[in-house]
């Protein structure tokens, strides 16, 4: 088995029982070809799948309090699927650490998306056993934060900009106005920040990988502020009135 120190550094967790991590990286094909009993990663994958779903479901529930069950389910499906899990496994270079049977090795198993996705979930299961739910939660949120931040780009989270405009127009004819407040990061990885204003009052700010995504995130932040996380309408903040001009009296 390859030295796992570098992988543990990437995971942000030093295993008390490194055998757990070794098992998480052992494909069932090893057991199929062995003459004796060999532990493999299917049980840890089962646990990791449940832990991943729990952590991301709770995060979505907390982060988007105005969304109903349908959009939340769609958002979770965008996060938890074989393609995404395989991508995360590749970022960790899990393929280089896998222990495969000879047949699976010969068939290119180290790059097979299903094997990588299963190993990623098994690693989460190993983190859960070795460090508890908090260790697994910290790892999951650290890996998925960029994807969580980009969720507002899609219509699967409803239409925050349209929803905000509808809410504001119920109390005023003035539409919301979006302002680009900042751009950071290198050319190939820009991060945009936008604010949404109404009647001169800033209602929310958001960030995204594009100006459109940042505006959508700002609208979502404004909705959360205006509705207080309850999903019910509330009064739109009004700009402070100028004091009456008494110079004519």
Catalytic residue set? 49, 121
Query: What is the C-alpha separation between 164 and 166, in angstroms, rounded?
Result: 5
First to last CA, the chain: 89
HSE-up of residue 20 (Cα within 13 Å, Cβ side): 22
**CA gap 199, 194 in Å, rounded:** 16
- Using only C-alpha atoms, the chain has a radius of gyration, in whole angstroms, of 24
Among 209, 72, 67, residue whose Cα is nearest residue 150: 209
């Amino acid at each position: 088995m390859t030295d796992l120190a570098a992988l543990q550094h990437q995971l942000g967790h030093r295993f008390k029982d490194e055998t757990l991590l070794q098992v998480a990286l052992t494909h069932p094909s090893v057991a199929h070809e062995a003459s004796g009993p060999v532990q493999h990663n299917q049980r840890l994958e089962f646990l990791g799948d449940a832990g991943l779903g729990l952590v991301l479901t709770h995060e979505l529930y907390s982060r988007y309090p105005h969304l109903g069950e349908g959009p939340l389910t769609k958002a979770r499906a965008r996060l938890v699927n074989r393609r995404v899990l395989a991508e995360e496994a590749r970022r960790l270079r899990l393929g280089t650490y896998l222990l495969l049977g000879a047949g699976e090795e010969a068939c290119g198993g180290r790059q097979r998306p299903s094997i990588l996705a299963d190993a990623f979930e098994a690693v989460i299961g190993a983190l859960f056993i070795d460090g508890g739910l908090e260790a697994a939660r910290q790892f999951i949120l650290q890996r998925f934060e960029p994807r969580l931040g980009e969720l507002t780009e899609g219509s699967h989270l409803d239409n925050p900009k349209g929803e905000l405009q509808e809410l504001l127009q119920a109390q005023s004819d003035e539409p919301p106005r979006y302002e680009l407040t900042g751009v950071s990061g290198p050319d190939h990885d820009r991060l945009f920040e936008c604010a949404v204003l109404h009647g001169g009052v800033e209602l929310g700010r958001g960030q995204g990988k594009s100006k459109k995504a940042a505006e959508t995130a700002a609208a979502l932040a404004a909705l959360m502020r205006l509705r207080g996380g309850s999903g019910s309408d509330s009064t739109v903040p009004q700009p402070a009135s100028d004091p009456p001009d008494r110079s004519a009296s």
